[in-house]
Structure 1
């Protein structure tokens, strides 16, 4: 969902001396629940500990009460942290069918940190000086979300629901289909490689038809569900294991992106039918692919107008009467003013009340997610999609604008219902485009299983493009760790998505992607690849400062992937389902390496090296069950070399390590002048090494 935030990219922290750089070995562990960092990494570890050992909650069946545990600190200069448990109480699935009174805590407003005004960075600027931290976040209008409606509203008319589609919640049942065997959840979501796409832009079947000007980035271009189904092998062969596509629910014709729903129980006819969607999920499951449903439960499309204008009314200004219903709204039980906040359109995104209760401009109406009855109906909608389509998870769009009690209740009840269908590790992914790590942590405390690493994404841009010291990557990792602890291992990581600039900018060398993709796939968390990245799609935008309201990422970052598409850039021309392209092959190799080496999926993570002076080497180890894998990337345009510590207990002096990406390259660990075991690694320009100890 569109949150076009103007943000300051994280500053480079300058080390006082080069000598310190060679001896400092930051340690951040991401280990399974109930297992200490030392036990997870191996019995004998020899590495300086500058940060606490942390246990990360893993998403494993069958528990419905995940526990977030922060154990006692590691030795050395660790920060003392008391054990904390956050429990999500299971709910009886039948509770979904009735409105349930919320507790006072559930109904409380979200505590949003006061982050102050945004700080803009000039298009061609370099990061700010040290001490300037990127802790501000702009709460600007997500304008491009509503742009299509603002530009074309009223031209395309109303969309009639497909025949046979349920119109009322009373018409549906949550009783499992007799004899149906539901697809089991993955044992651990950390094993997944995710791929996100815009259905209207990804692949078009012979039945797909554009609506409006196909050269216009805000029109419908005809991509559809059948088109995606035909490309599942292309994705599987690349190493993708989980799909997250734009919403399939029926919405206003102008909103090609799917984020303006009007019928919560129907598939948008422009994308296909419910049978098409069920078949897509079934075909994905046959290939071992999981499907996460993107569900918009924060707001609807422009379904009604206000009789006395749509201006913000304040918390005491709830509109008693609304005007005519501009679009039909289904299910019909929700076509009642009490299910909407009715306080008008947001005009100040920094205002907490407006952010949680206001309508998105110009006329996206906000559900009253603080209302227990509304909560129950929305949960019933989500449960029906799970039962009908057999999806493996739900992406909750725009949760920062929802009542936190609803997010908590939704997470608890949808996972309980999924469990009753045999999906013991159902994923609830919360989308919050905040620039503050602490807000992501708060979302997890509400019971969501994962969130997006937006704060890290914004801090890392300059460094990954080779325009800032790689120390920024370390600092960003530490900042995220301070807020999230071990939960950092279950955050969705990305370098671009449908709301941000594409990673590769116009004029940049394609080689930048090797280091960036290695960083993405081998860091702790769930890696997410945005469609077209595997074909080196570029953003026609030179600046590295994250997107802002005045310079949005879309629609230029939502090109047509299919050959007959007419909304193309130079990098996306032609048929882009090329399984022989260098970037596709690169991602395929990285995904294969991640699959083969368990530490890259489940291991604790230790920063081994970062450069305080400029582009160059960034290195970290992943350790799991006594195996260490050393990942070394180079963001510079020329080859670089660095000497760094490895784990002396797992990789003792004299160990031979081979690059899993280039079997011809290897190194041998040696004794460091300060003691311990070290390696010297040389990395090609914009390259990556994945060093694994060879068995003797």
Structure 2
């Protein structure tokens, strides 16, 4: 596994050591009884996959999709673009797309939501729609991340009634709605006297109304907070324009912001990342319970009014550590009260190291994340600059994301987006070639996206071959007829430049057709979304993964080849003496009694097979546990080794030596079976028992010997 950027450093000392032995040795405790009866049955359940795992998501910026009402192009304002924000010939300004255009007729599959449904998607992630500060600096807020009034729809996009019609149409088509929300900041209204450089708490602590210094982190996530005054701020906040323009009205109080200055991304401390202004935007003081409650109320209203099905949370990396633990239950309560089941929350944590990313789920209670580490591995592999090990390492790192709730990690996965650049560009940047080769590599990338675990997200326009020339503004092309000169002539993959035409004319684009086929596969074979994953081969340009359908007791094989020559590999499966049905590609010869299977994978292509035989009923499997210090965190790694090739699941449980109750640590349904124990949850010197509960594919259950460990930290 690769470690770079903000990589988690290895701990020098063992956080937990096994009692009466060296770290890593097994020490069964014959006096400790494993779980039994009802407790055993509860622990023996395999990991649960949330409904989000089965979603296929289309991410769209409404300003760039379709213009359904030219009357709102200028947002109800008159004057130049600096007053209206509208300039369809400049990539950094509003172009006229709106909610009516995005919704369409709800019937015509050539445009609107019906088109998105026809492409095989089950959900739509829509960029923020709230009222914006239309212009800041030399650009407009077409993207939606400069919120001013969080209670209403921006007039450039339409009206609240237009959003209601959009929501009604989406739900009638069976599309879930994931609304992009911002909890970290608002538009830039507050100026900071003395310049914008960040002032740390070490230099200038917060002070209450009586001038006494205090730590904001001490109160984060709680119900109380010191009185704060505009007179005692790290930098003096000044509001010269847009006074009183923010909604709800509490957002106009300057004390509801950190007021410390801008984040310096080249040399920023953790507190700077959380309390600094993100590119000058007013950073909300999320340690304050009033701010948490206010954000829960205003976004809860969007659930109550429109029955949206989930939130994508922008800049989740930059709120305080306790925020999600306090905010999420309030949002989920609002969803339940509105009758919205399985409300999904996935956060944007721009972090390409999987272990570092997992800390936001494990320590900060971010419910789910966007998988930036996998995106990096996928485009490198599909582009030909890296082998399959990067992908297999990332999938193995899923164990860091598993926890006591027993839910399998199912992050939002993607190849490109509005920030980093489009899928075809990211693949091309990795040596993905031109023309026909780039198209094959682009299709390969999307095959990986749909056939590996996670909820695939496709960025609007990727389905018609838009490549783009970079991230941000250079990756936000119009689908309707564009007035941006360079976009008319930009190279596309699988088709010619759009010229004066519309991207909606490319209904049968090879990427779009490929996405339809992949969507049909995931719909017909649920294991591709919710099946356990086993890496069978990950060498050079070939990746082979088994997906297990636990209900039907069937194994699937997905094999990928990023090389330019046909690849022939032999892999171990869990299904001996079986023939295999080809879902993509050609059927291989039947596997042998040992379960070995020889695959031939085409160059720059993929195959997908389904076993014609059920998994054999091998019965209960024995397991042995091992505990050792984790190399990359201050956690203790627990590994279970089984004696069977059967695709089992293992639940790791712990209990204090003086307790009778076992507590789930995590459940793992993919080898190597791994969980982590956090020493911070125990007293120094405390004796802890750990056990592995093994569930075979036929439902039989066994337990490992209980091992005893003693906390050393």
- TM-score bracket, shorter-length normalisation: 0.5 to 0.7
**Retained in 2: the 8 A contact 1:460–1:476?**
no
One of 274, 279, 290 as aligned partner of 2:160: 274
One of 448, 461, 472 as aligned partner of 1:532: 461
- Give 2:126's aligned residue: 245
Q: Which moved more, 1:378-387 or 1:563-572?
A: 563-572
- Give 1:226's aligned residue: 100
**Retained in 2: the 8 A contact 1:418–1:424?**
yes
Give the Cα–Cα distance (whole angstroms) in 2 for the partners of residues 678 and 339 of structure 1. 62
**Retained in 1: the 8 A contact 2:546–2:573?**
no
- Give 2:550's aligned residue: 624
Give the Cα–Cα distance (whole angstroms) in 2 for the partners of residues 691 and 274 of structure 1. 47
How far is the alpha carbon of 1:320 from its aligned partner? Answer: 6.5
Q: Against the structure 1 CA distance between its residues 456 and 487, is the aligned structure 2 distance closer, same or farther, given a 3 Å change threshold?
A: farther
Give the Cα–Cα distance (whole angstroms) in 1 for the partners of residues 613 and 40 of structure 2. 26
- Alignment partner of 2:291: what SS? helix
One of 274, 294, 312 as aligned partner of 1:395: 312
- Give 1:302's aligned residue: 188
How far is the alpha carbon of 1:314 from its aligned partner? Answer: 2.0
- 1:555 maps to 2:482: no
- 1:189 maps to 2:110: no
- Give 1:500's aligned residue: 420
- 1:570 maps to 2:491: yes
- Give 1:286's aligned residue: 172
**Retained in 2: the 8 A contact 1:200–1:221?**
yes
One of 260, 263, 276 as aligned partner of 1:346: 263
How far is the alpha carbon of 1:473 from its aligned partner? Answer: 1.8
- 1:490 maps to 2:402: no
Q: Which moved more, 1:420-429 or 1:581-590?
A: 420-429
- Give 1:198's aligned residue: 61
Q: How does 1:469-484 map to 2 (within 5 A)?
A: 469-484=387-402
Q: Against the structure 1 CA distance between its residues 287 and 453, is the aligned structure 2 distance closer, same or farther, given a 3 Å change threshold?
A: same
- Alignment partner of 1:538: what SS? coil
- Give 2:343's aligned residue: 426
Q: How does 1:290-689 map to 2 (within 5 A)?
A: 290-315=176-201, 316=204, 318-319=233-234, 321-327=236-242, 328-348=245-265, 350-361=268-279, 363-445=280-362, 446-484=364-402, 489-505=409-425, 507-508=433-434, 509-540=438-469, 553-566=471-484, 568=487, 569-571=490-492, 573=498, 574-577=501-504, 578-611=506-539, 614-625=540-551, 626-647=553-574, 651-653=575-577, 655-662=578-585, 665-671=586-592, 676-689=594-607
Give the Cα–Cα distance (whole angstroms) in 2 for the partners of residues 428 and 605 of structure 1. 23
How far is the alpha carbon of 1:496 from its aligned partner? Answer: 1.2
TM-score of the pair, normalised by structure 1: 0.68
Give the Cα–Cα distance (whole angstroms) in 2 for the partners of residues 8 and 692 of structure 1. 40
Post-superposition CA distance 1:115-147 (Å, at most 9, x none): xxxxxxxxxxxxxxxxxxxxxxxxxxxxxxxxx
- Give 2:22's aligned residue: none
- 1:209 maps to 2:73: yes
**Retained in 2: the 8 A contact 1:605–1:621?**
yes
Q: Which moved more, 1:504-513 or 1:189-198?
A: 504-513
* Runs of 5+ unmatched residues, structure 1: 1-5, 10-33, 41-54, 60-187, 541-551
* Runs of 5+ unmatched residues, structure 2: 8-38, 75-84, 105-111, 135-139, 206-232, 615-713
How far is the alpha carbon of 1:437 from its aligned partner? Answer: 2.1
Give the Cα–Cα distance (whole angstroms) in 1 for the partners of residues 278 and 559 of structure 2. 43
How far is the alpha carbon of 1:279 from its aligned partner? Answer: 0.7
Question: Per chain length, whose mean CA-contact separation is higher, i.e. which structure has more relative contact order (CA < 8 Å, sep 6+)?
Answer: 1
Q: Against the structure 1 CA distance between its residues 513 and 320, is the aligned structure 2 distance closer, same or farther, given a 3 Å change threshold?
A: closer
Give the structure with higher Rg (CA): 2
- Alignment partner of 1:668: what SS? coil
How far is the alpha carbon of 1:488 from its aligned partner? Answer: 5.5
Post-superposition CA distance 1:501-535 (Å, at most 9, x none): 22213553201122211111111111111111211
**Retained in 1: the 8 A contact 2:194–2:235?**
no
What's the RMSD between the two structures over aligned residues?
A: 2.7
**Retained in 1: the 8 A contact 2:97–2:157?**
yes
Q: How does 1:105-254 map to 2 (within 5 A)?
A: 188-207=51-70, 209=73, 211-230=85-104, 231-253=112-134, 254=140
Give the Cα–Cα distance (whole angstroms) in 2 for the partners of residues 217 and 632 of structure 1. 40
- Give 1:260's aligned residue: 146
Give the Cα–Cα distance (whole angstroms) in 1 for the partners of residues 558 and 342 of structure 2. 29
Post-superposition CA distance 1:402-450 (Å, at most 9, x none): 1222211111111012112222311111111112323433333444432
How far is the alpha carbon of 1:299 from its aligned partner? Answer: 0.3
Post-superposition CA distance 1:553-585 (Å, at most 9, x none): 222111111124536223262322232111111
Give the Cα–Cα distance (whole angstroms) in 1 for the partners of residues 537 and 176 of structure 2. 35
How far is the alpha carbon of 1:36 from its aligned partner? Answer: 10
Give the Cα–Cα distance (whole angstroms) in 1 for the partners of residues 554 and 358 of structure 2. 29
- Alignment partner of 2:185: what SS? coil
- Alignment partner of 1:404: what SS? coil
Post-superposition CA distance 1:600-640 (Å, at most 9, x none): 111000011112xx334444434432111111111112322
Post-superposition CA distance 1:49-90 (Å, at most 9, x none): xxxxxx53433xxxxxxxxxxxxxxxxxxxxxxxxxxxxxxx
Post-superposition CA distance 1:88-122 (Å, at most 9, x none): xxxxxxxxxxxxxxxxxxxxxxxxxxxxxxxxxxx
- Alignment partner of 1:472: what SS? helix
Q: Against the structure 1 CA distance between its residues 265 and 286, is the aligned structure 2 distance closer, same or farther, given a 3 Å change threshold?
A: same
How far is the alpha carbon of 1:369 from its aligned partner? Answer: 0.2
How far is the alpha carbon of 1:241 from its aligned partner? Answer: 0.5
How far is the alpha carbon of 1:269 from its aligned partner? Answer: 0.6
**Retained in 2: the 8 A contact 1:341–1:358?**
yes
How far is the alpha carbon of 1:401 from its aligned partner? Answer: 0.8
Post-superposition CA distance 1:297-317 (Å, at most 9, x none): 110111121233333222225
How far is the alpha carbon of 1:37 from its aligned partner? Answer: 14
Q: Against the structure 1 CA distance between its residues 488 and 494, is the aligned structure 2 distance closer, same or farther, given a 3 Å change threshold?
A: farther
TM-score of the pair, normalised by structure 2: 0.66
How far is the alpha carbon of 1:659 from its aligned partner? Answer: 1.6
Give the Cα–Cα distance (whole angstroms) in 1 for the partners of residues 590 and 118 of structure 2. 35
Q: Against the structure 1 CA distance between its residues 35 and 418, is the aligned structure 2 distance closer, same or farther, given a 3 Å change threshold?
A: farther
Give the Cα–Cα distance (whole angstroms) in 2 for the partners of residues 36 and 525 of structure 1. 28
